[in-house]
Structure 1
């Protein structure tokens, strides 16, 4: 498989977004009435566990919140290493803010996944930092360009930015397990019709 093909064997020519085929990338859409970060993260983790059990090489980051202090951290799905990504605003504050340095430290997990050509890359979210061209957006786009199957989450507030930065090539899914599995099944079906159907299944 070359760099101009995705994991499903579909060619990815360089050109305007509307000339490119749909690729294996999607985001669970969060918004009014949709699950929050915790539930969406649980869907990502469960999806990753199912695919890993099937033999797929799954890598990436999921977000978890400390039940004690409420601070968030990213967790490497493969090695289990944690990366703190929030900082307290002070003893009188009840909120926290994202620490870009923590996110940058965690990005090594995504770059490593691209380097070793993982089958599936899970990324905790496309949020404010990514909408501003920071955070994990470069790693997300690099993974898509390399042909990895990419799954993340995005809030309705950043929907347009997500679509713009991904060139309209990623699917937006309802934040449910059924929608996620239907998307996955559609990838397997679409990929089976490609000339190089060997790229559809998990690695040996």
Structure 2
């Protein structure tokens, strides 16, 4: 595991480290929704996976400010071996994050830093932009990608357990509303 999850002086960059059994997507979406209801200017995206009638799953990026849903997966045939991520949808999701960064929101949420970002693709540039602008950033990192996250951000940031109260305490500690 990661070691000491709670840090004494939390950074404005926070990563919720999660395991496959954790429902981090719902946790981040609900946390973002709660902050927005309380008047926090929040921007970015969260992920929702929707099971279709035919048994396939559609991955959606949801704009936390507007609720707009963007499909980020392509429908592939049963034996397809290629990546199911849709580059057009990912570009649209990246634009949502970029607009939020330029809008100087109170908190940027980017659904996750995973394999694609670790390899320099998908939303990696948006992560770098949010960090460079000094905006508070909340993301999720699969436990198996934690070392990639640390390599990317120079081991700067707060590591959070996948629990509502831990995220809320981080938000309050950095001066969140």
> What TM-score do the two structures reach when normalised by structure 1?
0.73
- Alignment partner of 1:118 is 2:85: no
Residues 109-164 of structure 1 show CA distances to partners (whole Å, capped at 9, x for unaligned) of: 01101111011111111111100011111111111111211101011121111111
Aligned residue in 1 for 2:141: 154
Give, in whole Å, the separation in 2 of the partners of 1:49 and 1:83.
Answer: 17
After superposition, the CA RMSD in angstroms is: 2.2
Correspondences of 1:1-204 after superposition (within 5 Å)? 23-31=11-19, 34-35=21-22, 39-68=23-52, 69-92=56-79, 97-188=84-175, 201=177
Runs of 4+ in 1 over 4 A off after TM superposition: 92-96
SS at structure 2 position matched to 1:88: coil
Unmatched 5+ residue regions in structure 2? 1-8
Give, in whole Å, the separation in 2 of the partners of 1:178 and 1:143.
Answer: 24
> What TM-score do the two structures reach when normalised by structure 2?
0.84
Residues 96-116 of structure 1 show CA distances to partners (whole Å, capped at 9, x for unaligned) of: 722233212210001101111
Give, in whole Å, the separation in 2 of the partners of 1:66 and 1:95.
Answer: 20
Unmatched 5+ residue regions in structure 1? 1-20, 189-199
- Post-superposition offset of 1:25: 1.1
Larger radius of gyration: 1
